[in-house]
């Protein structure tokens, strides 16, 4: 980042209900709390203005989509300028009739729209029917590019992207100074405790591994609380919270638990990536000449 001093960063963990205005009002309060505690960067969770509507397929939900710039970016931009913070938010973006994206937006500290990232990896699993709603972001060369802000280059990805080492590596190679994952993830309430523990541990571990493999800090902001399936044909989702911030060796800097609206605050030290890369030079030792088959679906 462009400062030799630490950057105070916040991850906001929030429960979302059916009313958009109530959700955004709660978001505004949590952003204010973060700013009052000294944050210069505030990361919100995925689709923070609405319930997680992807549990079912319903064409009426497309009415929730909005342009970028639009109402949510204006709302977040006003908060960013008011509190002098950079905000990473989330929008169900209507790009064109029939083209909708799950989009992370970045509002700089002056309120301007610094950039957007359209989610690249789109899941289609029970309870997470995102392919019905979202078109993947455009591919190379636009994909996996950091967003320039007044506090540095932000490697913003979204939720399902967090399971893919390729996405994190491409962000790192493009000069990202922090990896950021707005998230909406939880478990089936009918899963047993052992399965729930394994899922949560995998989620935390894979993101910490991206921090380690790329020598970059990671900020993961997840929603919490139970959300019923609108169709009523399943038990819904228990979003597991546990947002966290870790450093470039995967060390925890701040962790939330599974319940309650929370503002996590930690200071990212820009110089640590440089110093860690000097003794753990993963990027130097990559065998780029031997990886060409990574672009194939399988190796025959």
* Per-residue pLDDT at 300: 87
* Contact (CB, 8 A) for 210 and 168: yes
**Following CA atoms 1, 116, 171, 5 in sequence, which dihedral angle do they give, to the nearest 10 degrees?**
10
Q: State yes or no: cis peptide before 141, omega within 30 of 0.
A: yes
* Contact (CB, 8 A) for 254 and 266: yes
Enumerate the H helices of 163-258 as residue ranges. Answer: 165-173, 193-214
CB contact set of 22 (below 8 Å; sequence gap of 6+): none
* Per-residue pLDDT at 270: 84
Q: State yes or no: cis peptide before 117, omega within 30 of 0.
A: no
Nearest to 183 by CA among 218, 216, 217, 214: 218
* Contact (CB, 8 A) for 247 and 7: no
Strands (E), the chain: 7-13, 41-43, 86-96, 99-107, 113-118, 124-125, 128-129, 147-149, 152-156, 178-183, 186-187, 218-222, 224-227, 237-240, 244-246, 252-255, 262-268
The two tokens of residue 120 are 């690249």
The two tokens of residue 178 are 């922090």
- Choose the CATH number for 7-277 among 3.40.640.10, 3.60.110.10, 3.40.50.150, 3.40.50.300: 3.60.110.10
In angstroms, what CA-CA distances link 99 with 95, 122, 131, 141?
A: 6, 14, 12, 20
* Contact (CB, 8 A) for 181 and 222: no
User: pTM for this one?
Assistant: 0.96
Domain extents for the chain? 7-277
Please provide the DSSP assignment of 37-92 as one string: TT-SEEEPPTTTTS--GGGS--GGGGGG-B-SSSHHHHHHHHHHHHHT-EEEEEEE
φ/ψ (deg, to 5) at 66: -145, 160
List, run by run, the mean pLDDT of 10-residue segments along the chain (300 residues).
78 96 97 98 98 96 97 98 98 97 98 98 95 94 93 97 98 97 96 97 98 98 95 90 98 95 95 96 96 93
DSSP class of residue 138 equals P
Give the H or E element holding residue 32.
helix 20-36
d(CA 38, CA 31): 11
Tokens 């919100």 locate to 44
How many CB atoms are closer than 10 A to CB 219? 30
In angstroms, what CA-CA distances link 263 with 153, 240, 242?
A: 22, 15, 11
Would you name the residues annotated as active-site residues? 46, 119, 159
């Amino acid at each position: 980042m462009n400062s030799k001093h630490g950057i105070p960063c916040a991850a906001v963990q929030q429960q979302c209900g059916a009313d958009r205005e109530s959700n955004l009002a709660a978001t505004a309060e949590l952003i204010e709390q973060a700013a009052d505690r000294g944050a210069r960067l505030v990361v919100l969770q995925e689709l923070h203005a609405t319930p997680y509507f992807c549990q079912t397929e319903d064409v009426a939900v497309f009415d929730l989509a909005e342009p970028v710039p639009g109402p949510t970016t204006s709302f977040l931009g006003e908060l960013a300028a008011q509190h002098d913070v950079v905000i990473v938010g989330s929008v169900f973006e209507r790009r064109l009739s029939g083209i909708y994206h799950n989009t992370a937006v970045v509002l700089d500290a002056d309120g301007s729209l610094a950039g957007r990232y359209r989610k690249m990896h789109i899941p289609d699993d029970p309870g997470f029917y995102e392919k019905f709603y979202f078109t993947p972001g455009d591919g190379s060369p636009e994909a996996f590019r950091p967003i320039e802000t007044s506090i540095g280059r932000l490697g913003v990805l979204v939720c399902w992207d967090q399971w893919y080492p390729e996405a994190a590596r491409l962000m790192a190679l493009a000069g990202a100074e922090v990896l950021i994952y707005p998230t909406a993830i939880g478990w089936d309430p009918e899963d047993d405790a052992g399965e729930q523990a394994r899922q949560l541990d995998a989620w935390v571990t894979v993101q910490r591994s991206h921090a380690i493999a790329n020598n970059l800090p990671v900020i993961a902001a997840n929603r919490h609380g139970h959300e019923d399936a609108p169709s009523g044909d399943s038990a819904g989702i228990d979003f597991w919270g546990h947002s966290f911030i870790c450093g470039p060796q995967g060390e925890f800097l701040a962790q939330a638990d599974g319940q309650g609206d929370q503002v996590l605050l930690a200071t990212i030290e820009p110089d640590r990536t440089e110093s860690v890369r000097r003794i753990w030079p993963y990027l130097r030792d990559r065998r780029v000449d031997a990886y060409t088959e990574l672009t194939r679906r399988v190796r025959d």
